[in-house]
Amino acid sequence: MPNSRTSRSPAQWERYSSTERLLRFSLLLLLIIAVLYSAKSVEIIPEFLLDAPEQIRDLLVRMWPISYGFYPEGVHDPLMDTIHIATMGTILSILLAVPVGILSAQNLVRNSLLNGFARLILVSTRSVNSLIWALLFVAIFGPGALAGTLAIAFRSIGFVGKLIGEALEEVDPRSVEALQAAGASWMSVLLKAYWPQLEPTFWSVALFRWDINIRESSVLGLVGAGGIGMALDTALNLFQWTRVSLILLSIFVIVVIAEIIVTQIRKRII
């Protein structure tokens, strides 16, 4: 807790100084104003909201029964594609993110201009949503899994690079200095001093991101970037609701399986 410890002991104990109280109060005020203003100006059509429960019930009724028979012909292949897009995207993003992460670590690269540049790359890649990345890559490479894989890879650079950069900055400098004192080259220092300390973080970040990417890659097809999303888009456009429910169920299953795999590997290795 942030207590202001003054040298004079005050007559009465107060948890926060007056500036802190003022800041907290203005924060609360700002929050209330923002929420009220948004609630007032955002366009909401009350009629739509009123019959929402009925619409949702209607949707669920039309989704039933799930047409399992469609799985072998129309869902299995795109579902496997989705898993490959996520995996390849994660591998590619690690290849791209490691150099950027190294550039962003202030103890490794002592150049604030390069650090700042690397941070800018990390923030921008994270800020652009994977669906928007997919739109960009579909425009460049045409529809298909290549665009999806690149979208996943670019979106993940920010996440992977940021966490690797932070882990590098926390590396214990003693082993680094020992190697440098022995005259080791920059590359050996990286491999023998930084890597062993980075390794656990590296694997847990890679696994965590893969888990997220399975989720993300399931929707890329909506903008034409391959995978199960394309099947979902077709089924939605043709109002084949029983197929929609099958696709949603299969996405749910692979997301759950991915999460189980990641937790099991984490428990065993890290």
Partner 1 sequence: MTVAWLALVAYMIFAGLRLDFTWDRFIIGLDNAERFLGRMFPPAILQPDSMAKGLLESLEIAILASFFGVLLSLPLGVLAARNLMPAWVSWPARTTIALCRSFHPVIVAILFVKAVGFGAIAGILTLIVASMGFIGKLFAEAIEEISLKQVEAVRASGAPFMSVLTYGVFPQVFSRFVGFATYQIDSNLRNSTMVGIVGAGGIGATLFAAFQRFDYNFVCAILIAIILMIMIGESLARWVRRILGVDVSKSDA
Q: Where does this chain bind partner 1 (CB under 8 A)?
A: 1-2, 20, 23-24, 27, 31, 34-35, 37-39, 41-45, 48-49, 52, 55-56, 59, 80-81, 84-85, 87-88, 91, 123-124, 126-129, 131-132, 135-136, 139-142, 144-146, 149, 162-163, 166, 170, 215-216, 218-219, 222-223, 226, 232, 236, 248, 251-252, 255-256
Question: What is the nearest approach in angstroms of partner 1 to the Cβ of residue 185?
Answer: 22
Residue 180 or 201 having the CB closest to partner 1: 201
Question: What is the nearest approach in angstroms of partner 1 to the Cβ of residue 38?
Answer: 4
Residue 180 or 234 having the CB closest to partner 1: 234
**Residue 162 · residue 122 · CB < 8 Å:** yes
**Residue 246 · residue 71 · CB < 8 Å:** yes
How far, CA to CA in Å, does 198 sit from each of 50, 89, 194?
Answer: 53, 22, 6
Question: What is the nearest approach in angstroms of partner 1 to the Cβ of residue 255?
Answer: 5
Residue 80 or 178 having the CB closest to partner 1: 80
Question: What is the nearest approach in angstroms of partner 1 to the Cβ of residue 175?
Answer: 21
Residue 129 or 188 having the CB closest to partner 1: 129
Residue 251 to residue 256: CA distance in whole angstroms: 9
Residue 2 or 183 having the CB closest to partner 1: 2
Residues 6+ apart with CB under 8 A from 188: 179
Question: What is the nearest approach in angstroms of partner 1 to the Cβ of residue 191?
Answer: 14
224-261 CB burial, b ≥16 within 10 A, e <16 = bbbbbbbbbbbbeeeebbbbbbbbbebbeebeeebeee
